[in-house]
A and B are shown apart, each in its own frame.
Chain A
Amino acid sequence: MFDFLLNPKIAQALVVWAGAACTLGIYSILYKENKVFRFFEHLFIGLGTGYTIAITWNDILGPRWWKPMITEGKWYFFFALPAGMLFYFVYSKRHAWLSRLIFGVSFGAAAGLAFQGFAAKFFPQLQRLAATRFTDLAESKSSDAYALTPFSAALNNFLGLVILSCVMTYFFFSFQPKDKPAKIVAKMSMSGRWVLMFAFGAIFGSTIMARMSLLIGRMYFLIHDWVVVTLLGGT
């Protein structure tokens, strides 16, 4: 009955039509709130959840847990199941303490990894900033894409230190701006706020570009894949 689906051209056309219906259904929210949008919203959530469960079983649980436990004699893999189930005791008032066992282990591991991750990400940046003296013109001799002129390198390092200090000061709330040193701290704090705003402005500009890019992708699909190729038979 459904043999026609084996025809690649028909299958491809159906996929494109389904994609077009989903795209238009989701974009219908731009006109006003409606039931079509709600339907496709739920459809996407359901599809995403089902897809994730299937992939997790196919790529992780099946080959790395179930198969070794059942066919390769690694029976002790079974203990991963009750350990994982401990998470769900959080929903029981009486047995919630059991969930704390597994949460404690997870938090401990996560905390250790987070510390290492912080060091791996930020220490090289701090090292670069600290190790480059204002008079060190090595950067200007570098052949990398970020090579700066001597003056720019010195100015860049100086600005980096000033901005770092100001932004850190903005998050330092222990001073009341009454005496003179505290007033300096308050001014640094305000400067930190300004440079943070500049950074957020740059991120917002990039966000506009990202959102436009996503719309471009969907418009290309609707105009090219759906109308031109599927409906009009073009290329």
Chain B
Amino acid sequence: MTFGQRLQKLDRRWLYLLTALVIGIPFLPGVRVPVPAPVIQPQTRAYYQAIEDLASDPVESKKLVIVAVNYGAGTLAENQSQCEATLKHLMRKKLKFALLTFIDPQGRDLGLRLAERLGPSRGYTYGQNWCSFGFRPFDGVNQILKTMSTDMPGGVVTDAKGAAIESLPVMAGVRSADDVGMVINFASTQSIDVWLQFFSRPDKSALPVLYAPTSIMAPEAYPLLRSGQLKGMLTGLKGAIEYEALLKEPGFATSASASLSWAHFLIIGLVILGNVGMYLEKKRV
């Protein structure tokens, strides 16, 4: 069997094993794989800056930030690290926020648990500084967001713990989209459109919308950045790595950067090898 044939007929399970090793080795205790500092992309810097700008505005910083946790356990590695870094940033800047889920019901508890884990050590109390609107089914989210944009308590009604939303101190004075300072959407599937549709406020100053999708969805969102409909974006795990670097608060994403970089090297190498194998085989035949 020639080298080209060997490459063409290589059992794909060897590739799976190789990928698992390349990704797993940097996580072994005591192993330190060198990776250069991440290059911060403009959309990540804009994402960071939008929150900084909101916090520095004396009027806007008093408004509510809606954090849409639209992901499930399937994309934890990408979306959870984005969400964790963002909540840390919001808490650092003392911005009040509300969680809302309308795509994957798992996002309701993932967001709630994350905020409950991060909150106490940062002086954040449920009901006082943050709350969760809970889960709303995507089939009805158009109607709910449309109502929320003009009548926030009427659209939300109760929080994730069953309390009337108006009874929460964090919601005091929040009557409509005018009382919302920013929307941040973490997404594993297409879900940004509804925010642009109902919270874009075309007759007033645009409400800043930030987007943190998985890497797959990011290319479709670039036109929204250029048009100004999105103020910033985190591109999957890579975006989370860059954002943690900007925050100077390393988390899971930073620890995964070596694995991500080496996995890309491996894939590129395998693509080249695969093409070499195909070329050699064509030449031989």
Contact = CB atoms under 8 A, between A and B. Distances in A.
Contacts of B16: 30
Nearest to A31: B13
A128 B74 contact: no
B260 A209 contact: yes
B143 to A, nearest CB: 8
Nearest to B258: A216
B10 interface: no
Interface stretch (A10-18, A97-105, A217-225): A217-225
A121 B74 contact: no
Interface in A101-148: 113, 116-117, 120-121, 124-125, 127-128, 144-146
Interface of B: 13, 16, 19-20, 23-24, 27-29, 42-43, 45-46, 49, 74-78, 105-106, 108, 134-137, 142, 157-158, 160, 162, 193-194, 196-197, 200, 202, 214-220, 223-229, 232, 235-238, 252, 255-256, 259-260, 263-264, 267
Interface of chain A, main secondary structure: helix
B263 A216 contact: yes
B216 A210 contact: yes
B136 to A, nearest CB: 7
B187 to A, nearest CB: 12
A199 B29 CA distance: 40
Given A63-B162, A120-B200, A234-B29, A216 B224 contact: no
Among A58, A124, A145, the one with the most B-chain Cβ atoms within 10 Å of its Cβ is: A145
A212 B23 CA distance: 8
Contact of A121 (B24, B43, B49, B196): B196
Interface of chain B, main secondary structure: helix
Interface stretch (A35-43, A48-56, A172-180, A186-194): A48-56
A214 interface: yes
Nearest to A208: B267
Contacts of B197: 113, 116-117, 120-121
Nearest to A52: B105
A171 to B, nearest CB: 17
8 contacts: A55-B108, A58-B134, A208-B264, A208-B267, A212-B19, A213-B260, A216-B23, A216-B260
Interface residues of A, number: 45
B227 A125 contact: yes
Given A128-B227, A146-B226, A206-B216, 13 more contacts: A56-B105, A120-B200, A121-B197, A124-B200, A125-B229, A145-B49, A145-B232, A210-B214, A219-B23, A219-B259, A224-B27, A228-B29, A234-B29
Among B29, B193, B215, B223, the one with the most A-chain Cβ atoms within 10 Å of its Cβ is: B215
Nearest to B78: A213
A128 B215 CA distance: 25
B215 A209 contact: yes
A58 B160 CA distance: 8
Nearest to B72: A48
Contact of A128 (B135, B226, B260): B226
Given A64-B157, A121-B197, A209-B236, A59 B134 contact: yes
B79 to A, nearest CB: 10
A212 B215 CA distance: 10
Nearest to B46: A145
A207 interface: yes
A56 B24 CA distance: 38
